[in-house]
Structure 1
Amino acid sequence: MSLLRSARFPAVLLLAAAVAGLVLANSPLGPAAIDLSHLHLGVPGTVLDLSLAHWVQDGLLAVFFFVVSVELRHELTRGELRSIRRALVPAVAAAGGVVAPIVLYLVLAAGTAAAPGWPIPTATDIAFALGVLAVFGRGLPAAVRVFLLALAILDDIVGIVFIAVLFATGLNLGMLAVAAVGVAAFAVLSRMRARNGLVGAALVLLALGVWVAVLASGVHATIAGVALGLVMAPAPAGRVRHAIEPWVNAVVLPLFALTAALVAIPEVSPAQLSPAFWGVLLALPVGKIVGIVAAGWLAQRLWAVPGHPRLAFGDLIAAGALGGIGFTVSLLLANLAFAGDAGLRDEAVLGVLAGSLVSLMLAAVTVSMRARAARGIPIEETP
C-alpha cells in the first residue's frame, strides 16, 4: 500500500492507463471496447440508469473528489493556505494559470462550435504534477513543492466551481435541498462517537443517499464528494482519506483515465482538426506557463510574505510546466463541455492527452535542470 501512497507510482499508473485506453480504442478491439463503455447498468427509468463510463465518471470519481476536498480543507485550515497572506501569491499565480489558457483557447476557438470548451485547459492534475516533481525534482527547494501544491489545490477549486455552475442541467431544487439536508446530517453524524461500527455504516449509507440526490438534482454528481469531504469532521475524514487513498490511486483514477481515453484518433490531416484539439493542446503547456510565471512573478514582488523565500524565475517556469499537466480534471471537463457532440469531445480529449504529455516533457526538462542547479551540478555535466 505504501507504493500506492507515494507520489511517483500513481502518476505512472495513471499515464499507463490513459495510454492503454488510447491504444485499445485504436486497435481492432476499439469499437467493441467503446460500445462496452456505453453499456447501461442500473435501474431503467431512474437516475441510476448509467453507462459504464458514467458510473466511473459520476460515481467512482466522486470518491476522488472526496479525497481532494479533504486535502483542500486541511490546506485551508492548517496548511499553506490557512491565511490570506500565505495564500495570496499562489492564488494570484493560479488565477494567471486559469485566465491565460482560457484566453489562448478562445483566440483559436471563439465563434466556433468548439468555444464551450474554454474551461478544459484550466485544470492541474495534483497527483500527476507532484509525481513528476518527485521523479525529477530531487534537491529542489521545499518551497517549490509547497507552491505547486497550493497552486494545484486552488486550480481544483476553480475546476469544482466550473463543474458545479457551468454543467448543471435541468436543475431540480427539491433534490438539491434533499442533498443539502443529507450533507448537514453527514456533518453532524461524523462528529458522533462510533458505536460498534453503526455510525460508520450510517455515514456510508448517508453518503450514498447524498450522491443519488445530487445526481438527481442536475448538478454533476462529483460535487457530492466535494461537499461531504468539506463538512466531515477532520479526524475521521483524515482516517477515511488515508484508508481509501490507495484504492483511489490504484483503481478509481486509472479506470477513469482508461475510459476517458477510449477515443478513436480521427483519420484526418492535422489541418482538419478542430479548435477543440488545437486550443487545448496549446493552452495547457503554453497558457499555463505564461499565466503562472507572469502572475507568480508579479505577486511575489507585490505581496511577498516575510520569512518565505521568493521562488527563482526558473522555479516559476518549472511550476508553470507542471501546472500544464491537466489530465484528470481536464478530461472530466472535456467530457462535460462536449457531452452533446462526440466528435468535438474526442478531439478535446486528444488535446488534453497531447497537451498534458507536452507539459510533462517540458516539466521533466525544466524540473531536472532546476534540481541539478540546486544540487550544484553543472547542467552540461553527465551524472
Structure 2
Amino acid sequence: MSSSTTSKPRYQPIQPVHPNVTVPLPEQPIDRFVRPVARFLHIEAASGVLLMLCTAFAIIMANSAWADSYLSFWKTEAGVSFGSLHFQHSLRHIINDGLMAIFFFVIGLEVKRELVHGALSDLRRATLPIAAAVGGMVVPAGIYLALQYDQPAARGWGIPMATDIAFVVGFLALLGSRVPNNLRVLLLSLAIVDDIGAIIVIAIGYTHELDGRFLMLAAIGVGIVHLFSRLGVRRFPPYIIAGLLAWLAFHESGVHATLTGVILGLMTPAKATIVPDHFHQYLIKTGESFRGEVWHTANQRAQKVREVQRLTRETVSPLEYLETTLHPWSSYFIIPIFAMANAGVAMQLSNIEDPVAIAVTLGLVVGKPLGVLLFCVLAVQIGWARLPSGVSWRILIAGSFLTGIGFTMALFIDGLAFGEEGLDTAKTGIMVGSAISAVLGMVLLMWTLPKRKTTKVQT
C-alpha cells in the first residue's frame, strides 16, 4: 500500500525494548522512567549484581555505628491475629519462612521444567550434571564433617553443599559469548540438581520434632491442590488458599514451611490447555468485533476482554506462566531482601580464623570443584556420560570453581542449623568462600576460554 493511502494512527506507540515487538499503547510520561529499568532487568547479570549490592549493604551496616539498630530491625515482631489465633514472628522469620516459600516455589517450577522439557529430561544428557552435582554436594559435606567431627557445629554439614544459581548466571553473563552454551547449560543444570539435593537435605537433615496432626492437615492442603487440578480448576485464588493452608500446616508440623513451595511447584501442570493453532483461529473469528464502530457499539465489551485475556493465558502452561510471572519477584525482591536480613555479619579476624569458618570456606573453595571434577571424571570413565561439545577438561575445571559460590542456600541452611540468626562464623566462611570461588572461577575462565574474534578493518 502506498504512503498516500496509509491512514495515520491516532496514537503514538511505545518504542519496544525488543525491536521486533510492537506495543499499541499511547506514550505516557512514566514510560521514560520505566523503560531503562525494564532494559536493566532483562540483563541476565542484573539479579546477581543486585544481590551483590544488597549483600555489601548488609555487611557494611553490620560493621558500622548503626550495627545494633540494623540487626535489631530484623528482629521486629510482626503478624496477624484472628480471634484466638495469632501468627506473630520476627521480620527475619517471616522472610525466611514466608517469602522464601515463594523462592522455593520458583525452584520447584524450574526443576519441573528441566525434568519435563529441559536438560534433565534426557537421561543421557542429564547424567553428567547429575554426577557433577552429587560430587559437589558429597565432597564439601565430607570436608566440613571431617574438620568438625564430634563438635557442636557439626550440624552445619549442609552449608557448603549448594550452588547459588543467581551468582553463577550473573558471572557467566559477564563473560558473554565467550562462554560455550553447553558449559552454561551444564552449570545451570548442575545448580538445579544442587537445589534438589538441598531440598532433600533440608527435609531430612533439618527437620525438628514432627507433629502428626499438622502433617495430616498439610497433606489435606496438598491433596486439595491436586483435586483442583484434576477437576480442571483454572483460576489461581482456590490454589492460593489451599497452598496457604498447606504452608501454615507445614509451618506448625516441624517440617520447614518452605518445602510447601517446592511441592506445589513440582505439582504445577507443564502442559498448556489450548493449542496455539486453535487460539489463532479463535482470534481470526472474533477479530472483527474489535474493529471501529463495531467495537464501540458492541455489548458486554468487558466480558469479551476478560474472555480474550483468559484464553490468551491458557495458550501457555501454568508452569511457564507462573515461572515467568514470579521469577522477577524472586530474583529482584525476595532474594535481595533475604540477603539484607541474613548477610549482616561482623567481619572480624577472629571469625575468619574460626574452625567453623575454615570448614565452610574449604568446603566451598576446595570441596565443590574437587567433587564436581571427580564425579565427572568417574561418569565419563565408566561410560555413563561424555563431555559436551565445546567443553574441554580445562574449561570444566575453570567453571567448576564457580560452583563454590554457595551464598543464598548456604545462608538459608546456616539459619536452619544454628537458629534463626545463624552463626556469624559460618556466615563469614560463606562470604569468604564464595568470594574466593568467584574470583578463581572468573580468572580461570578468562584464561581458558577462547578469546573473542575481532574483525580487522582493511584500509
TM-score exceeds 0.5: yes
Deviations 1:192-221 (A, max 9, x none): 6567xxx22222222222211111111111
Unaligned residue ranges in structure 2 (runs of 5+): 1-37, 271-316, 455-459
Deviations 1:348-380 (A, max 9, x none): 11111111111111111122223335x469xxx
Written as runs of structure 1 = structure 2, the 5 A alignment for 1:40-51 is 40-43=77-80, 48-51=87-90
Q: How far did 1:120 drift?
A: 0.3
Q: Distance in 1 between matches of 2:198 and 2:386?
A: 30
Q: How far did 1:112 drift?
A: 1.9
Written as runs of structure 1 = structure 2, the 5 A alignment for 1:181-200 is 181-190=220-229, 199-200=235-236
Structure 1 residues 92 and 307 mapped into 2: Cα distance closer, same or farther (>3 Å)? Answer: closer
Q: Is the 8 A contact 2:178 2:450 kept in 1?
A: yes
Match of 2:244 among 208, 227, 248: 208
Structure 1 residues 100 and 137 mapped into 2: Cα distance closer, same or farther (>3 Å)? Answer: farther
Structure 1 residues 316 and 308 mapped into 2: Cα distance closer, same or farther (>3 Å)? Answer: closer
Tell me whether 1:35 sits opposite 2:72 in the alignment: yes
Tell me whether 1:90 sits opposite 2:168 in the alignment: no
Tell me whether 1:345 sits opposite 2:423 in the alignment: yes
Match of 1:278 among 345, 355, 358: 358
* Consecutive aligned runs of 4 or more in structure 1 exceeding 4 Å deviation: 43-47, 190-195, 304-308
Name the residue aligned to 1:244: 326
Name the residue aligned to 2:369: 289
More off after superposition, 170-179 vs 323-332: 170-179
Match of 1:324 among 387, 400, 404: 404
Unaligned residue ranges in structure 1 (runs of 5+): 378-383
Q: Name the % identity.
A: 36
Match of 2:168 among 96, 114, 129: 129
Which has the larger Rg? 2
SS at match of 1:118: helix
Q: Aligned AA for 2:436? A: V
Q: Is the 8 A contact 1:296 1:316 kept in 2?
A: no
TM-score, scaled relative to structure 2: 0.75
Q: Aligned AA for 2:337? A: L
Name the residue aligned to 1:108: 147
Name the residue aligned to 2:439: 361
TM-score, scaled relative to structure 1: 0.90
SS at match of 2:64: coil
Match of 1:15 among 47, 52, 58: 52
Q: Distance in 2 between matches of 1:194 and 1:295?
A: 44
Match of 2:262 among 216, 220, 226: 226
Q: How far did 1:328 drift?
A: 0.6
Name the residue aligned to 1:381: none
Indicate the RMSD between aligned Cα atoms, in angstroms.
Answer: 2.3
Q: Aligned AA for 1:240? A: L
Q: Is the 8 A contact 2:352 2:428 kept in 1?
A: no
How many residues are aligned here? Answer: 369
Q: Distance in 2 between matches of 1:155 and 1:251?
A: 22
Q: How far did 1:305 drift?
A: 5.0
Q: How far did 1:270 drift?
A: 4.8
Written as runs of structure 1 = structure 2, the 5 A alignment for 1:156-171 is 156-171=195-210
Structure 1 residues 99 and 310 mapped into 2: Cα distance closer, same or farther (>3 Å)? Answer: farther
SS at match of 2:449: helix
Q: Distance in 2 between matches of 1:181 and 1:327?
A: 34
Q: Is the 8 A contact 1:285 1:324 kept in 2?
A: yes
Name the residue aligned to 1:380: none
Q: Is the 8 A contact 1:88 1:303 kept in 2?
A: no
Q: Is the 8 A contact 2:165 2:188 kept in 1?
A: yes
Q: Distance in 2 between matches of 1:123 and 1:181?
A: 31
